[in-house]
Amino acid sequence: MGYWTGLMLLLAGALAAQDLSDLKIEKAGGGFRFTEGPVWSREGYLLFSDVPENKIHRFTPGKGMEVFRDPSEGANGNAFDAQGRLYTCESRSRRVTRTDRKGKIEVLADSLEGKKLNAPNDIVVRRDGHVYFTDPYFGKQAETLELDFQGIYHITPKGQLELLSKSKLLPNGIALSPNGRILYVAMSGERSVRAWDLDRQGKASNERVLVSGIEGVPDGMKVDEKGNLYVTCKTVAVYTPEGKLLGHVQVPETPANCAFGDPDFQSLYITARTSLYRVRLDVKGAVQY
C-alpha cells in the first residue's frame, strides 16, 4: 500500500525528537461516510466507527478491513480497559455499553435520574477501572432530549454513574494524561480543551481552560507518553501538557478522532470523514490498558 507524499507535519516548535523530514501519511482505508472512535486492541487490530452507516469496522494491518459490528446502535467513541473489554458510546440507543471478550454486551449507563442520556459521544477508561464519557447533542438529536444540559460523566469501578460537569459548550472528545491524574475534554462549542485534576477515587476538581482559540472545531483527541495532546480539529493540532501549540498534522480530509496503535504504539491512526489514515511517529502513545 502506497504512502501519501507531500503531506507535512508543520511545526511551531520541535515535537520531542521527531524527525519530520520524511514523514508520510498512509491511507489505510476509504469509502466510509463518517469515521470516528478509533481504538487499538492488544490483539493486533484497530476498531473504528462509521456513525451514519451504523457499523463498527476492524482494520488489521496486513489483512485489511472487515465489519466488526452491524448494527452498532450508532456507535461513536470506543475504548478498551485493562481486561480487554470494549466500551462504546451508542448515540442511537443513547447509552454506554461494555462488551466482554466473549461478545456479551451489558449496559453501563443510559439515563440519569430517570431521564435518558442525550447521545453519548466519546469515552476513556483509566487503568484502575474508572470510566469517563461525554454526552452532548448535535443537530436533530436536540428534538428528543430529556435532559436540559450536556454532561461529562464518571462511572465508578462499581458501576455508579456520577455527573462530573454540566455544560452547554458541546463536550466532545475526551482523554487522560499518561498517569491518569488529569482529564481532558474538547469543548466544541468553545473551541477549547478543558482540564480537571482527578484523585485516586476518580473525583474531579480544579476545572480550567488548558487550550483556547483552536482553529476549527475540536473533536476527538489522544495523548502520547510524554503527555502531549493530539487534538483533531481543522488538522490534528499537537499541544504540550501545558497547552502550548507544537504544530499540526495535515490530513487530506478533516479529522474527527485519532488513536495510537500498532504493536509498538508509535502509529497515529486518524479517522477523517470517509477514510482512515495512519502516520508513523517517533513517540509512543500513552496507554491506560
The ranges assigned to domains in the chain are 9-280
DSSP string of the chain, one letter each residue: ---B-S--EEESS--TT---TT--EEEEE---S-EEEEEEETTTEEEEEETTTTEEEEEETTTEEEEEESS-SSEEEEEE-TT--EEEEETTTTEEEEE-TT--EEEEESEETTEE-S----EEE-TTS-EEEEE---GGGGGG--SSSEEEEEE-TT--EEEEEEESS-EEEEEE-TTS-EEEEEETTTTEEEEEEE-TT--EEEEEEEE---SS----EEEBTT--EEEESSSEEEE-TT--EEEEE--SS---EEEEESTTS-EEEEEETTEEEEEE-SSPBP---
* C-beta separation of 37 from 221 below 8 A: no
Closest CA to 80 of 55, 118, 46: 46
- What pLDDT shows up at residue 138? 86
- Contact call for residues 11 and 20 (beta carbons, < 8 A): yes
pLDDT digits (tens, 9 = 90+) for 266-276: 999 999 999 99
pLDDT in tens, 157-188: 999 999 999 999 999 999 999 999 999 999 99
pLDDT of residue 5: 33
Quote the CA–CA distance of 176 and 219 in Å, as a whole number. 15
Cell readout for 162 is 456520577
205-238 pLDDT per residue, tens: 999 999 999 999 999 999 999 999 999 999 999 9
Q: Give the gyration radius of the chain's Cα atoms.
A: 17
Residues (pLDDT < 50) of the chain are: 1-17, 19-21
CATH class of the domain whose range is 9-280: mainly beta
Residue by residue, DSSP assigns 92-123 as: TTTEEEEE-TT--EEEEESEETTEE-S----E
